[in-house]
Every structure is written in C-alpha cells, then in structure tokens.
Amino acid sequence: MSVVQPAKFDWYQATIYVSDPFESGLADLLTATWELSDFAQAKAMHGYTYGAEVRRGDNVLCRVWWGGNPGVHVTSSSVEAPTLAAALKRFGKMTAISRVDSCVDWDEEGLFDSLAAHMIEFAQARRISINQQGDWARGEGRTLYLGSTQSAIQICLYEKGFEQGGVMAGVSLDWVRMEVRLRPTKEARLDVSQWGADDVFTAGWVGDLLGVLGWEKLKHQAVGTVWRPSDKDRARIAFLAQYGKTIEAWANEAGGWDSFGVVLGEALSEHRQRIADRSGSQATETA
C-alpha cells in the first residue's frame, strides 16, 4: 500500500508557555480533543507543583504538569501522540518540544534483516553507538538501537509484530517499525514544534542514513495503517488463547457452531441465575 506521508508521531512531549491549563483554556481544549474524557488530578513530576491526566475510564490519554517551572508541560505517547500534536497546533500558543518520536511501519518478510544490516554498517562507519536487544540468534523479537538514550537523536528498529504478540494477537510477525527519537536542543525546540512527523526523519545524521537505505522506495512501501488491538480486542484475544480449545470442544458437543450460540446463551443465563439464587439465599441467612 503506497502512502504520501507514512510517518506518524509516536511520542509528543512539549512545554506550552501559558500560566496554567485552566486560565489558558488548555484543559478545556484537551478534554474536547478526546471525547468522553476527564481532566483528573494526578501526581506531579519533573519538578512541577501540580499534575493531571486526561483520562477516558482507566486509559490515560495525556499527562499534564504545571507550576514551579515555566509553562505547562504535556506528553502523550503511542496512538495518542498525533492527537496531542494536532491539538497543540490548533491551540496556537508558543510551544517548545522537548521530545518527539516519529515512526514508520512495514509488513514485509525479511525486511528487518536487510534494514538492520545496512544500519549497522552505517553506524560502524560513523562511530555511532549500536545496541542490539532480543534474540538475534533465532531472529525473534529483535531491536536495534543506533545512538544512546542520552543522545539528541536515536533510531530504533524493531520487530513490532513480535512485541504485539504475533499470530496469537492477530498481527503479522513481519511487522517492522522504525522510530526516530529526537530530543532537540533548547535552541531548536521552538522550531521543532512546527515540524510534521515526516520532518523528524530529516534530523541530523538520520537523513544520511535514510539515503543509504533507499528511503524514497521504502517510503512508498510503508504500511499506511497497521491494525492494533483495542483494549476489548486484547481481552478477547487473551480469552481465546486460554479457552479456545474448550470452546471448540463445547461447540462440537452442541452439534456445530450454528447451534453453539444458543447453547452458550442458555448456559450463560443459567449461570447468572445460579449466582442470583446464591446471593438471595446468603442474604436470607444473614437476615
């Protein structure tokens, strides 16, 4: 699947130069950005006096800190990072980026091995630090880091499919992700706030590496949308992994999948009735 802009933000951390999230309207903007969300008090961190989270149920969508340091500090990660980036651009206040990650995905057999080999060769020639994690002997769950965690720029190439659980989670083991993790200098933070996700891939020596990798071709091979299981999906996947064989045997006893729905519905109703009867008898005994 070809896409014009395959890159997307995967982490967005910024300081907005306003006094606090309430008088400035930032809190209202964030809760309006994420529907059905609340602005809830949370632990203050990073030297700030106050902390809050934008939550939807138990899911933390954005973290907010203010007081004790200039401005209001916000951060979102993963699928929420692009949402925060777009919201801050709409807000239109002076913003300084302290960290931004941008990523691109592929789903292609053997691509990790090819990219990793070229990246290691490039890093060795440039004397850039190399860190290999995971099982490289068997080729499972591998991660390659170029640049240290203390560097202004770090690239991470990893087998996202293994991280997400592979076949058991309904994702391809050939799913590969490349992330560019950028921590701009203080002088560059205001400028970086104007960048799009693609621009992060032009920072420092990243552009030279991408030239070696044949970036224009890779860019058009990138996957526009890779399925990610929701909280509900993950719960169902875990349920099927644990009870799949029991369910299949039960369906066979019921005469097949067409009959199983009715049998399962009746069993669930009977189970709930037993619980209700038991609760009623316990209440009677207590009385």
Mean pLDDT calculated for residue range 92-111:
94
pLDDT over 70 (residue 228): no
Positive or negative torsion for Cα 181, 118, 167, 105: positive
Is there a single domain that holds both residue 240 and residue 194? no
Is there a single domain that holds both residue 28 and residue 133? no
More confident of the two residues 21 and 268? 21
CA distance 197 to 131: 25
Q: What is the pTM of this model?
A: 0.75
Residue-wise pLDDT for 270-283, tens only, equals 888 887 777 666 55
Is 4 inside a domain boundary? no
Is 5 inside a domain boundary? no
For the chain, what is the domain count? Answer: 3
Least confident of 34-43, 100-109, 160-169, 237-246: 237-246
pLDDT at position 235, please?
62
Mean pLDDT calculated for residue range 235-246:
73
CA-based R_g, the chain, Å: 24
Q: What is the DSSP secondary-structure string of 194-230?
A: T--TGGGGGSTTHHHHHHHHTHHHHHHHS-S------
At 140, which amino acid appears?
A: E
CA distance 150 to 157: 17
What confidence tier does 218 reach under pLDDT thresholds 50, 70, 90? confident
Show Cβ contacts of residue 103 under 8 Å, excluding neighbours closer than 6 positions: 7, 8, 9, 10, 177, 178, 179, 180
Is there a single domain that holds both residue 212 and residue 112? yes
CB 196 within 8 A of CB 102: no
Angle in degrees, CA 94, 96, 99, rounded to 5:
150
Q: How far is CA 112 from the centre of its chain?
A: 20
Mean pLDDT calculated for residue range 130-152:
94
Return mean pLDDT, the chain: 88
Is there a single domain that holds both residue 207 and residue 265? no
pLDDT at position 1, please?
30
The residue among 64, 93, 122 that closes a domain is 93
Mean pLDDT calculated for residue range 198-214:
92
User: Which domain covers residue 128, as residue numbers?
Assistant: 103-228
What confidence tier does 215 reach under pLDDT thresholds 50, 70, 90? confident
pLDDT over 80 (residue 139): yes
Q: Where are the beta strands (DSSP E) in the chain?
A: 8-16, 38-42, 50-56, 59-66, 72-77, 95-107, 130-135, 140-146, 153-158, 175-182
